[in-house]
């Protein structure tokens, strides 16, 4: 009678099988697999030919050859492609070893074994300066290094490397150059800015401001249709100018004459004589509200821009409309003028920035990198660069062709105004009342300010419409929606120890556009 076989579940059978397998191999499960010499040599041969063929022809230095003969932990028996025979290298090109000036090229000099150190130095002296300089900067990998490290590429090489092949004098040379990922340089330390004065007097949003060249007073324009002149040192009101019949959107003080220029939503552009405190010229031509204006620093030209999608160039004295700059398809919100090319830069709600040729009155370059309205532009006082502000990013550009430099991300709001001083402090003011301070060179955001609105104002009335540094660049003035002008200055007591830069050398991963 056949004994009945005891039935087990599949789960039990599987675990019994695993246990038997474990018991069978438990004695040597941690031992490495023995290296098959033949297969290893074959693998290295293939690897050398496929990955290092461009440098196999290069000569091996004597000291490296001696080093390579010693085995290391990764060298499972050093071997030669030529099976132990000493290799010969054919040297070709305009300067074959060891020929130099006045040495004839013969059959003996065409094919040479490894040259001596003296002949190598003689060759270096014979090379042209440019080639010698290139060779001096080149770090060539030898065949011995390749043999020694062929099997450990993933352990020995840096994460990002590239092989540059150069054709110099008919000879193919190679250099393996390690390229590190770009990291943000350490930003310059700037002391923090603090609020020290609030100036009240306007009855509406303060939309624009400008400081006069002598640094004695500054001027503001407001939604209450007035222009006010304030003493910069004391903050006291000196004068009020009336004449606009709608919000004043732009003011500028001339450094060449005692004139003040203003523009507003009433389509008017006015020239005020500050000796008589009255309007002496009107510039008629805009078909809708005028949102911004700027003066050329060296010639008597005024540039205005507005909601009619144009920027207009005016002769200050004759009131003539010299050029009408057409090209934008939506409101032109900001305009800047400089002495060098391009002389006029405009930013528009159609998301583009245009660089204009003042003489021809035509667009030189159109920048389409922004995805949202460009409401503010600022020129750097020392560098030939400028920045643009938009809700998507603040971007820096290089003149004259508008070459993109970098993004300054992080101010996620509608940016109404930008200002920069000679120390490289860039200020951006936004619709939600926030103000960010940046290091111009690195784009590092070193301070964020959100000043409280004045008593009696709504929380929504916290926008910053304009900001500018005074002529000494020691004070920062802001024009705000709570009907005040705020004045900031650097904290004199701050040091780099008390306010360190919270900076980490992170790898740059910036969007290019």
Contacts of 21 (CB under 8 A, 6+ apart): none
Q: Categorise residue 329: left if φ over 0, alpha if ψ from -120 to 50, beta otherwise.
A: alpha
What is the distance, to the nearest Å, from the Cα of residue 310 to the centroid of all Cα atoms in its chain? Answer: 30
> By three-state DSSP, how is residue 379 classified?
strand
Contact 199, 487 (CB under 8 A): yes
Q: DSSP class of residue 458?
A: -
Q: What is the DSSP code string of 125-188? A: HHS-HHHHHHHHT--PPPHHHHHHHGGGHHHHS-SSEEEEEEEETTEEEEEEEE-PPPBPPPPP
Q: Residue 65 phi/psi, 5° resolution?
A: -65, -40
Please calculate the CA angle 412-413-417 and round it to the nearest 5 degrees.
Answer: 120
What is the distance, to the nearest Å, from the Cα of residue 170 to the centroid of all Cα atoms in its chain? Answer: 39
Residue 222: beta bridge partners? 206
Its pTM stands at: 0.65
From the list 297, 250, 287, 296, the residue with the least C-alpha distance to 270 is 250
Task: Look at the block and give the residue holding tokens 């209450």.
Answer: 224
From the list 421, 424, 417, 427, the residue with the least C-alpha distance to 439 is 424
What is the C-alpha separation between 79 and 44, in angstroms, rounded?
A: 10
Task: Look at the block and give the residue holding tokens 């990013």.
Answer: 393
In this prediction, residue 502 carries a pLDDT of: 74
Q: DSSP class of residue 154?
A: H
Contact 193, 452 (CB under 8 A): no
Listed in order, strand segments (DSSP E) in 299-349 are 301-306, 310-315, 321-326, 332-337, 344-348
Cis bond before residue 400 (omega within 30° of 0): yes
Task: Look at the block and give the residue holding tokens 């290298």.
Answer: 89
Q: Which two tokens stand for residue 209?
A: 């401001």
The secondary structure element, H or E, covering residue 415 is strand 415-420
The domains of the chain, with CATH numbers, are 193-490 (2.130.10.10)
Q: What is the DSSP code string of 172-203? A: EEEEEEE-PPPBPPPPPP-PPEEEEEEEE--S
From the list 501, 490, 488, the residue with the least C-alpha distance to 446 is 501
Each residue's pLDDT, cut to its tens digit, for the chain (513 residues) gives 555 666 778 878 887 888 777 776 666 655 667 788 888 889 888 888 888 887 777 766 655 556 555 544 444 444 444 444 444 434 444 444 444 555 555 555 554 445 556 655 555 555 555 544 454 444 444 445 544 554 444 443 444 444 444 444 444 444 455 566 566 678 889 999 999 999 999 999 999 999 999 999 999 999 999 999 999 999 999 999 999 999 999 999 999 999 999 999 999 999 999 999 999 999 999 999 999 999 999 999 999 999 999 999 999 999 999 999 999 999 999 999 999 889 999 999 999 999 999 999 999 999 999 999 999 999 999 999 999 999 999 999 999 999 999 999 999 999 999 999 999 999 999 999 999 999 999 999 999 999 888 777 776 678 999 999 999 999 999 999 999 999 999 998 888 888 887 766 654 444 444
Contact 431, 412 (CB under 8 A): no
Q: Residue 11 phi/psi, 5° resolution?
A: -60, -45
Q: Residue 34 phi/psi, 5° resolution?
A: -65, 140
In this prediction, residue 511 carries a pLDDT of: 45
From the list 407, 250, 247, 449, the residue with the least C-alpha distance to 332 is 250
Contact 428, 438 (CB under 8 A): yes
Q: Is the dihedral of CA 103, 107, 110, 116 positive or negative?
A: negative
């Amino acid at each position: 009678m056949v004994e009945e076989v005891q039935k087990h579940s599949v789960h039990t059978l599987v675990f019994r099988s695993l246990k038997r397998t474990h018991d069978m191999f438990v004695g040597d499960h941690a031992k490495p697999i023995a290296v098959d010499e033949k297969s290893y040599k074959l693998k290295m041969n293939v690897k050398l030919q496929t990955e290092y063929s461009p440098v196999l022809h290069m000569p091996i230095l004597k000291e490296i050859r001696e080093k390579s003969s010693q085995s290391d932990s990764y060298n499972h028996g050093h071997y030669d492609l030529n099976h132990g025979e000493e290799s010969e290298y054919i040297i070709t090109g305009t300067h074959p070893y060891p020929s130099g000036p006045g040495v004839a090229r013969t059959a003996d000099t065409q094919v040479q074994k490894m040259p001596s150190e003296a002949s190598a130095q003689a060759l270096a002296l014979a090379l042209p300066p440019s080639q010698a300089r290139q060779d001096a900067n080149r770090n060539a990998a030898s065949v011995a290094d390749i043999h020694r490290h062929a099997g450990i590429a993933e352990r020995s090489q840096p994460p990002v490397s590239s092989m540059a092949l150069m054709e110099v004098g008919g000879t193919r040379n190679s250099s393996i150059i390690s390229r590190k990922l770009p990291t943000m340089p350490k930003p310059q330390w700037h002391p923090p800015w603090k609020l020290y004065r609030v100036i009240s007097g306007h009855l509406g949003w303060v939309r624009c401001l400008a400081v006069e060249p002598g640094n004695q007073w500054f001027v503001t324009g407001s939604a209450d249709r007035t222009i006010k002149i304030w003493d910069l040192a004391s903050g006291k009101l000196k004068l009020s100018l009336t004449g606009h019949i709608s919000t004043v959107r732009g003011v500028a003080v001339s450094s060449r004459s005692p004139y003040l220029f203003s523009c507003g939503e009433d389509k008017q552009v006015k020239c005020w004589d500050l000796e008589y405190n009255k309007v002496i010229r009107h510039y008629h031509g805009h078909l809708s509200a005028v949102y911004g204006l700027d003066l050329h620093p060296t010639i008597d030209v005024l540039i205005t821009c507005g909601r009619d999608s144009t920027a207009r160039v005016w002769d200050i004295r004759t009131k003539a409309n010299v050029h009408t700059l057409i090209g934008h398809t939506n409101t032109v919100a900001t305009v800047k003028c400089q002495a060098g090319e391009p002389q006029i830069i405009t930013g528009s709600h159609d998301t583009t920035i245009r660089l204009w040729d003042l003489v021809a009155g035509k667009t030189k370059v159109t920048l389409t990198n922004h995805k949202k309205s460009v409401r503010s532009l600022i020129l750097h006082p020392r560098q030939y660069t400028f920045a643009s502000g938009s809700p998507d990013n603040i971007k820096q550009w290089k003149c004259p062709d508008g070459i993109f430099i970098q993004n300054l991300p992080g101010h996620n709001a509608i940016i109404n105004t930008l200002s920069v001083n000679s120390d490289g402090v860039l200020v951006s003011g936004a619709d939600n009342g926030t103000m960010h301070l940046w290091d111009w060179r690195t784009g590092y955001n070193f301070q964020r300010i959100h000043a409280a609105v004045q008593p009696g104002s709504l929380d929504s009335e916290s926008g910053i419409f304009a900001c500018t540094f005074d002529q000494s660049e020691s004070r920062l003035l802001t024009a705000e929606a709570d009907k005040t002008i705020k004045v900031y200055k650097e904290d004199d007591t701050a040091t780099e120890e008390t306010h360190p830069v919270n900076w980490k050398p992170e790898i740059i991963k910036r969007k290019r556009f």
